[in-house]
Amino acid sequence: MTVEERLARLEALEEIRMLKHRYFRACDAKDPEGMRACFVAEGADIYYGPALGSFDDADGLVAVYARLALERLDDRYVILDMHHGMHPSIEITGDGTATGAWTLRFRQVDLRTRTERVSALDYDDDYVVEDGRWKIARCHVRVHWSIERPLTDDVKVAQ
């Protein structure tokens, strides 16, 4: 492998890492457009576990996400999410294709039900270059475990 090829590979790996970071930030920032921009234009293969299900295009996922994430009650967001993506394992598989695995530590507060959920998950992704930028073409989530507990009356949630 030439120096130029090695450099191109390193740049691709970093671009994919930044793509996934943009995705996590968009999720936590309640930014459906930013989330959608992380996926291929058409035909993404998405499975987000039993809670959200499967989608054959990112538009369906983003519609569900927007409905949940942007819901407000008494001028406050009902659902608060925190995505901590870590331990990426990314492999460039061809010219403009790659696979990736990520660990996710996820925390969600639901103010309607006054519950908190903490979960350990893995992402298995495929990435492709589309219009010169890396995009998520396949994203499957595997839940390892999850706990849900009530938020007692003395718990204050600030937004």
Is 157 inside a domain boundary?
no
As a whole number, mean pLDDT of residues 24-42 equals 98
**156 lies in a domain?**
no
Q: Residue 47 belongs to what domain range? A: 3-150
pLDDT of res. 50? 86
Q: Is the dihedral of CA 25, 92, 122, 64 positive or negative?
A: positive
| pLDDT bucket at 29, cuts 50 / 70 / 90 | very high
Give me 111's structure tokens.
Answer: 């103010």
Mean pLDDT of the chain: 97
Could you tell me if residue 159 is inside a domain?
no
pLDDT tier at 120, thresholds 50, 70, 90: very high
| 158 lies in some domain | no
Q: Is the separation of the CB atoms in 121 and 49 below 8 Å?
A: yes
The CATH number linked to 38 is: 3.10.450.50
Domain membership of residue 155 (yes or no) is no
pLDDT band at 9 (very low <50, low <70, confident <90, very high): very high
In a domain, 85, yes or no: yes
Is residue 148 within 8 Å of 116, Cβ to Cβ?
yes
User: What one-character DSSP code corresponds to residue 26?
Assistant: H
Q: Report how far apart, in Å, the C-alpha atoms of 24 and of each of 32, 62, 86 are.
A: 11, 13, 11
Collapsing DSSP to helix, strand or coil, 16 comes out as: helix
107 found inside a domain: yes
Domains of the chain: total? 1
* pLDDT single digits (tens) 75-107: 999 999 999 999 999 999 999 999 999 999 999
What pLDDT is stored for residue 145 in this prediction? 97
Residue 66 has a pLDDT of 98
Looking at residue 135, what is its pLDDT? 99
Q: Please, is 156 exposed, middle or buried when counting C-beta atoms within 10 Å of its C-beta (0-12, 13-18, 19+)?
A: exposed
Q: Provide the pLDDT for residue 51.
A: 84
The pTM of this model reads 0.95
Residue 133 has pLDDT above 90, yes or no: yes
Percent of residues, the chain, with pLDDT higher than 70: 100
Distance CA 37, CA 93 (A): 22
